[in-house]
Amino acid sequence: MSHPTELERLLSLAEASEEETSASAASGMPSRALSAQPERALRPVLALLSADRVPQTACRTCEASCWHSTSAGLHAYCKVTHSIVFSPDFPMLIEDCDQLHLPIDN
């Protein structure tokens, strides 16, 4: 039994990725292939909250989000879109964003 060459290994990975993309397209669900990012930490303001108070929005770990805890509730401002992306008056939760798929700044 021979070991696969690096080229064979890369081709195998590409084929697996294509199969995942085809399967997700057929199911109507987005592919998560881009999300092979390291686990991101909660933003500092959110890390101080109890887990049940942390909104389940993609912005909770995004470095472009700036969170504020006020007497009116939590608010988040996006430094990329220059807009409020979470507030008590904006109940829509952002599920995914291109910014999350960019490399983490170190």
* CA pair distance 24, 5, nearest whole angstrom: 29
The pLDDT value recorded for residue 90 is 82
pLDDT (tens place) for every residue of the chain, 106 residues total: 456 566 666 667 667 666 655 555 565 655 444 445 567 899 999 999 999 999 999 999 999 999 999 999 999 999 999 999 999 988 788 999 988 888 766 5
CA dihedral (45, 51, 54, 60) in degrees, to 10, reads: 70
pLDDT at residue number 77 = 95
* Extents of the domains making up the chain: 1-35, 37-106
Secondary structure (3-state) at 98:
helix
pLDDT at 100: 86
pLDDT at 34: 47
